[in-house]
Amino acid sequence: MRGSGVVLATLVTLSSAALIYHRAHPAIETEWVTYTSGDEQVRGFIALPQSGGSAPALILIHEWWGLNEWAQQNAKKLAKEGYVTLAIDLYRGEVTAEQETAHELMRGLPEDRAQRDLRAAFAYLQSREDVQKDRIGSIGWSLGGSYSLQAAVQLPELAACVVNYGRLLTDVSLIQQIHSPLLGIFGGLDRGIPVNDVRTFERKTKEAGKEIAIVIYPKSGHGFINENNAKAYNAKDAADAWEKTLAFLSEYLQ
């Protein structure tokens, strides 16, 4: 297992390789798929790289707005980087642009159902012939970042996990269940997830012997990666976070 210092060092050096891979594989296909989660048939949006064989894969988890166009666009961007990307739909078709409605949707999301959906998405990707079964990771933003971290707890075979300003764990027994390397991206001005909480999580995770890299952008707040978030978007930090994400994924999934 690589140390977190090595992870941080490779984030910059590998970003150029990830961008070259993007240029070499620009074509993608997209479709809506259905698969089983418990007793339900659920849908997801999948973006497929034109790699001509099996490829690493990602479970993409949306923000509290639901599986909207922005989430789908990120799935497409990741597919262009060579990842079979399944954007899951935790809200069962509900999408909103209103903050009050988004808050209600988030509060009404059953935790056990969401965790079941994560396991179902992983199983679905493993069932696909175009997926490298030992190279499946997760990525999410805000609400989705929280559930990306949950995926690392729920799925011992997960190969990589990216948490963009998601709610963190405090229970050491849950942290000990994590087996995948983690990349955490946060804003230093995020009032909901203070820097002290991020550093505490980082310390507890390292003490548990887990591999983690944390990046904090001092001038950004919650939601700074989403260009549709006019109040929080920081173009420079968002671009840098994307490059670091690609480098991390390239390190552990390519």
pTM greater than 0.75 (yes/no): yes
The pLDDT assigned to 11 comes to 55
- List 61's β-bridge partners, or say none: 88, 140
- Give me the half-sphere count of Cα atoms (radius 13 Å) on the Cβ side of residue 196: 1
User: What is the residue-wise DSSP string for 59-109?
Assistant: EEE--TT-S-HHHHHHHHHHHHTT-EEEEE-TTTT---S-HHHHHHHHHTS
pLDDT at 25 over 70: no
Q: Is the pLDDT of residue 46 over 50?
A: yes
pLDDT surpassing 60 at residue 2: no
How far is residue 80's CA from residue 153's CA, in Å, rounded to a whole number?
Answer: 28
pLDDT of residue 15: 45
Average pLDDT over all residues of the chain: 92
pLDDT surpassing 50 at residue 20: no
**What is the spatial distance between Cα 69 and Cα 32, in angstroms, rounded to a whole number?**
13
CA distances, 213 to each of 8, 26, 125, 163, 244 (Å): 6, 29, 26, 10, 10
Buried b (16+ CB within 10 A) or exposed e, 109-142: beeeebbbbbebbbebbeebeebbbebbbbbbbb
pLDDT score of 13 more than 70:
no
In this predicted structure, the answer to whether residue 253 has a pLDDT above a threshold of 70 is yes
Phi, psi of 51 (to 5 degrees): -90, -15
**Number of C-beta neighbours around residue 47 at 10 A:** 24
Show Cβ contacts of residue 52 under 8 Å, excluding neighbours closer than 6 positions.
none
Q: What is the pLDDT of residues 120-161, one digit of tens each?
A: 999 999 999 999 999 999 999 999 999 999 999 999 999 999
**Better pLDDT: 231 or 14:** 231
| Whole-number Cα distances in Å, 204 to 167, 177, 193, 201 | 15, 13, 16, 5
Q: Residue 108 contacts by C-beta under 8 Å, 6 or more apart in sequence?
A: none
| Separation CA 106–CA 25 (nearest Å) | 36
Q: What mean pLDDT is predicted for residues 86-107?
A: 98
The SS3 assignment for 20 reads: helix
Average pLDDT over residues 38-67: 95
pLDDT at 1 over 90: no
Mean pLDDT of 59-64: 98
In the chain, domain spans: 4-253
Stated length of the chain: 254
Q: Which CATH class is domain 4-253?
A: alpha beta
- Answer whether residue 72 shows pLDDT above 50: yes
